[in-house]
C-alpha cells in the first residue's frame, strides 16, 4: 500500500508485531500502514511478540465497541495495558500483595462502579462547565506566553505540555510550586518507553517513579483529611465506601489516574491539533472564518491525534469475535488509533476535516470505562484554540516534529514553530 510518497511492504505478522513496539507509535506512517493492513486482512490478529504474552490485536471500530460493551466478559484486570510478561508478572504479584497501583482502569465491577462514582460527580459535564472561566483564563495565560517567547518556540515542550497540567493540578488543589515536579513524574510514568523521558530502564526504576508519586500524594491526603477544602483532592481524600475511608493505595491511585490521565492526553491533543492545522492551512482558514465550527474541530483533533493508543481486556470465557474465538484468559488489545481511521465508519478517514460531522471516534473509549475527563478535555482544547486562533497572524513549522515512542499515551514531544500572535 502507499501512504505518502513511499511504498512500504509489510506482512500481516510484521504489522501485528509493530503494535507491540513503542517506536511504531513515533512513526505515523508505519503505524497507520500497519493498522490499515490489519483492518483489511486480519482485523482480529494474534500477536506473539518476544517478551510479551501473546494477545489479540482488535483493529475494527465495530469490534472494539463490541468488546467494550461486553464488559462482563472482557475485564480490565489483570492486564489493562500492554506490558512485557515480566512486568505483567510483577504487577500481578504486587496486586496480590495489595501494594499495586489500582486505578479505575485496573478495576472491574463491583469495585469499578463504586470507585468511579467518587470522581463521576466531580467530572460531570455541568460541573465542568462551571470551571470554564478558569480554564479560559489559563488558556489566555499560555497564548500570552507564546507572545512572550517572541515568535518562535517548541510548542509541544513550552506550551502544550504545561497548560493541561496546570489545569488539572489546579483543579486537584496542588500548589503551583509543585507543578514542575509533577510534570517530570508524569512524563516518567507515562512516557516510560521513550529514552528521553526514562529515569532508568529497569523495572525497579519504573517502580521507584510510582513510589515517588505515592509518597507525594500521601502527604496531600494527610493535609486534606486534617483541613478539608472544596478541591478534588479533598473529595478523594475524604471519600468513603460503606462508611470506610479508602486505603492509602486506593487514595493515591485515584490522584495518580487523575493527574496522569488528565494531562498527557490533552497536551498531546493540543500539540497534534496545532500541527494538523499547520499542515492543513485551508482547514485553519475555515475555522478562523467560522468559529462556530470549534466543537466539531475539537473532536476532529481528538480523532486525528488519538493520544491513547490502546487499552487491553482479558476474556473471562471463550468468546467469538468476528471470525476468531478468543479463549478464556486471553487478552485483546483495543487499538483506538485504528478504530479512528476505520474506512467503514469514517468518510475519507485520512482527511483532517474541522467540519467532520458525524464523528463517532473512540478516542475516549466507550461504555463503563468511558473517559471520565472527556468533558474537561473538550473544554480545555476548545478554550486553547478559541484563544489562539483569533490572535494568530501566521504560523509555520520551524523544524521537524518528533513523537514519543510509547505503546500507551503518546503524541508529539517536539513541535518547533515560527509564528506571529497578537
Ligand atoms: C479513561 C482517553 C482526557 C481521566 C480513558 C480511556 C480513554 C481515555 C481511551 C479509557 C476508556 C475505555 O477503557 O473505554 C482520553 C483522551 C483524553 C482524555 C483522548 C484527552 C483528549 C482525560 C482527562 C481526564 C481523564 C482530562 C481527567 C482529568 C480519565 C479517567 C479514566 C479515563 C479517570 C478512567 C475511567 C474508567 O476506567 O472508568 N480516557 N482521556 N481523561 N480518563 Fe481519559
Rounded to two decimals, the pTM is 0.93
Least confident of 124-128, 199-203, 277-281: 199-203
Q: Closest ligand 1 atom to the C-alpha of 164?
A: 26
Name all residues whose Cβ lies below 6 A of ligand 1. 68, 104-105, 116, 168, 257-258, 261-262, 265-266, 269, 302, 307-308, 311, 336, 363-367, 369-373, 376-377
What is the residue range of 270's domain? 2-421
Residue 201, pLDDT > 70, answer no
With contact defined as beta carbons under 8 Å apart, do 56 and 330 qualify? yes
pLDDT tier for residue 319 given thresholds of 50, 70 and 90: very high
Phi first, then psi: give them for residue 338, nearest 5 degrees: -70, -45
R_g over Cα of the chain: 21
Instruction: Domain count for the chain, please give it.
Output: 1
List C-alpha distances in Å: 143 to 150, 179, 378, 388, 414: 12, 19, 18, 6, 18
Question: What is the Cα–Cα distance from 359 to 324, expressed in whole angstroms?
Answer: 28
Residue 136, pLDDT > 50, answer yes
Helix count and strand count (H, E) for the chain: 18, 16
- Per-residue model confidence (pLDDT) at position 4: 45
Please spell the DSSP secondary structure of 291-349, one letter per residue.
Answer: GGGHHHHHHHHHHHH--B-EEEEEESS-EEETTEEEPTT-EEEEEHHHHTT-TTTSSST
- Per-residue model confidence (pLDDT) at position 190: 62
Phi first, then psi: give them for residue 131, nearest 5 degrees: -85, -5
The pairing of beta strand 74-75 with beta strand 310-315? antiparallel
Averaged over 46-59, what is the pLDDT? 97
Angle at 257 between CA 70 and CA 414, to 5 degrees: 105
| 404 CA to centre of ligand 1 in angstroms | 19
| 377 CA to centre of ligand 1 in angstroms | 9
Could you tell me which residues are beta bridge partners of residue 313?
332
Least confident of 63-77, 242-256, 261-275: 242-256
With contact defined as beta carbons under 8 Å apart, do 285 and 304 qualify? no
- Per-residue model confidence (pLDDT) at position 124: 84
- Per-residue model confidence (pLDDT) at position 309: 98
Interface predicted TM-score (ipTM) over 0.90: yes
> Which of 371, 374, 379, 380 should be mutated for ligand 1, with most atoms under 8 A from CB?
371
pLDDT tier for residue 356 given thresholds of 50, 70 and 90: very high
Averaged over 167-191, what is the pLDDT? 81
Least confident of 186-200, 227-241, 255-269, 372-386: 186-200
Could you tell me which residues are beta bridge partners of residue 255?
none
**SS3 of 395, please?**
strand
CATH number at residue 282: 1.10.630.10
Residue 412, pLDDT > 90, answer yes
- Residue 42 is classified by DSSP as -
Phi first, then psi: give them for residue 58, nearest 5 degrees: -105, 115
Asked whether the CA dihedral 88, 92, 93, 94 is positive or negative, the reply is: positive
- Residue 247 is classified by DSSP as P
Report the residue count for the chain: 422
User: Could you read off the pLDDT of 184-200 as tens digits, one per residue?
Assistant: 877 777 655 565 655 55
> Which of 364, 366, 375, 407 should be mutated for ligand 1, with most atoms under 8 A from CB?
364
The pairing of beta strand 2-3 with beta strand 6-7? antiparallel
Residue 267, pLDDT > 50, answer yes
For 133, the grid coordinates are 472561566
With contact defined as beta carbons under 8 Å apart, do 405 and 22 qualify? yes
Question: What is the Cα–Cα distance from 195 to 99, expressed in whole angstroms?
Answer: 27
> Which of 80, 102, 116, 373 should be mutated for ligand 1, with most atoms under 8 A from CB?
373
**pLDDT, averaged across the chain:** 91
Q: What's the N-to-C CA distance of the chain in angstroms?
A: 44
Whether cis (ω within 30° of 0) applies to the bond prior to 377 is no
Q: Closest ligand 1 atom to the C-alpha of 107?
A: 37
How many other CB atoms are there within 10 angstroms of residue 147's CB atom?
A: 13
With contact defined as beta carbons under 8 Å apart, do 417 and 155 qualify? yes
Amino acid at each position: 500500500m502507499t501512504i505518502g510518497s513511499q511504498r512500504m511492504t509489510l506482512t500481516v505478522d510484521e504489522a501485528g508485531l509493530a503494535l507491540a513496539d513503542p517506536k511504531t507509535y513515533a512513526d505515523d506512517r508505519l503505524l497507520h500502514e500497519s493498522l490499515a493492513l490489519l483492518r483489511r486482512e486480519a482485523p482480529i490478529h494474534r500477536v506473539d511478540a518476544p517478551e510479551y504474552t501473546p494477545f489479540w490485536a482488535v483493529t475494527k471500530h465495530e469490534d472494539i465497541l463490541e468488546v467494550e460493551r461486553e464488559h462482563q466478559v472482557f475485564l480490565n484486570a489483570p492486564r489493562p495495558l500492554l506490558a512485557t510478561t515480566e512486568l505483567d508478572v510483577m504487577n500481578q504479584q504486587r496486586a496480590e500483595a495489595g501494594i499495586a497501583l489500582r486505578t479505575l482502569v485496573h478495576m472491574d465491577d463491583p469495585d469499578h462502579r463504586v470507585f468511579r462514582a467518587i470522581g463521576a460527580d466531580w467530572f460531570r459535564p455541568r460541573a465542568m462547565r462551571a470551571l470554564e472561566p478558569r480554564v479560559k483564563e489559563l488558556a489566555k495565560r499560555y497564548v500570552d506566553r507564546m507572545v512572550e517567547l517572541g515568535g518562535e518556540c517548541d510548542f509541544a515542550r513550552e506550551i502544550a505540555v504545561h497548560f493541561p497540567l496546570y489545569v488539572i493540578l489546579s483543579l486537584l488543589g496542588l500548589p503551583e510550586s509543585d507543578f514542575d515536579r509533577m510534570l517530570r513524574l508524569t512524563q516518567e510514568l507515562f512516557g516510560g518507553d521513550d529514552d528521553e523521558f526514562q529515569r532508568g530502564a529497569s523495572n525497579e526504576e519504573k517502580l521507584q517513579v510510582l513510589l515517588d508519586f505515592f509518597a507525594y500524594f500521601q502527604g496531600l491526603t494527610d493535609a486534606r483529611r486534617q483541613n478539608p477544602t472544596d478541591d478534588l483532592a479533598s473529595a478523594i481524600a475524604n471519600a468513603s465506601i460503606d462508611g470506610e475511608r479508602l486505603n492509602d493505595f486506593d487514595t493515591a491511585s485515584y490522584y495518580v489516574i487523575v493527574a496522569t490521565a488528565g494531562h498527557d492526553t490533552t497536551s498531546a491533543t493540543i500539540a497534534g491539533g496545532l500541527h494538523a492545522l499547520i499542515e492543513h492551512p485551508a482547514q485553519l482558514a475555515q475555522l478562523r472564518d467560522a468559529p462556530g465550527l470549534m466543537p466539531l474541530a475539537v473532536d476532529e483533533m481528538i480523532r486525528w491525534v488519538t493520544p491513547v493508543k490502546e487499552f487491553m481486556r482479558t476474556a473471562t470465557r471463550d468468546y467469538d469475535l468476528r471470525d476468531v474465538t478468543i479463549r478464556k484468559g486471553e487478552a485483546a488489545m483495543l487499538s483506538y488509533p485504528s478504530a479512528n481511521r476505520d474506512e467503514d465508519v469514517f468518510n475519507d478517514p485520512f482527511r483532517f476535516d474541522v467540519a467532520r460531522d458525524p464523528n463517532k471516534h473512540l478516542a475516549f473509549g466507550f461504555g463503563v470505562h468511558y473517559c471520565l475527563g472527556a468533558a474537561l478535555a473538550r473544554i480545555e482544547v476548545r478554550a486553547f484554540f478559541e484563544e489562539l486562533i483569533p490572535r494568530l497572524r501566521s504560523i509555520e513549522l520551524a523544524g521537524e516534529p518528533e513523537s514519543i515512542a510509547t505503546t500507551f499515551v503518546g503524541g508529539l514531544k517536539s513541535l518547533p514553530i515560527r509564528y506571529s500572535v497578537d
